[in-house]
């Protein structure tokens, strides 16, 4: 299923942090790039878009620490 630019609100569940999603998408995009390089595969779509689609389709899930954001000093 190819989603047309899913919004963050469509991907995030249970008050997950949008910042965590951005970091997770970036990390997954790097993994996709590395896998393509190892397999000598040319990517047609951008790795970030592939990663976003994986999160939106539930292929990859965001797992946050229970205490995320509690150690932030003001």
Q: Structural domain tally of the chain? A: 1
Model pTM score: 0.77
Spatial contact of 63 and 14, defined as CB atoms under 8 Å apart = no
Note whether residue 15 is domain-resident: yes
CA–CA separation, 55 and 51 (whole Å): 6
Tell me the CA distances in angstroms from 28 to 19, 56, 71, 72, one per residue in order: 14, 13, 25, 25
Angle between helices 18-38 and 47-56 (to 10 degrees): 120
Per-residue pLDDT tens, the chain, 74 aa: give them: 445 678 888 888 878 888 889 999 999 999 999 999 999 999 999 999 999 999 999 999 888 777 666 665 65
CA–CA separation, 1 and 54 (whole Å): 10
CA end-to-end span of the chain: 43
Q: Name the residue range of residue 26's domain.
A: 9-56
Note whether residue 62 is domain-resident: no
């Amino acid at each position: 299923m190819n989603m047309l630019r899913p919004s963050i609100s469509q991907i995030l569940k249970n008050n997950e942090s949008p910042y965590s999603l951005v970091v997770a998408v970036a990390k997954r995009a790097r993994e996709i790039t590395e896998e393509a390089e190892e397999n000598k595969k040319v990517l047609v779509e951008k790795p970030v878009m592939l990663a976003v689609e994986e999160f939106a389709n539930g292929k990859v899930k965001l797992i946050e620490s229970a205490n995320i954001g509690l150690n932030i000093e003001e």
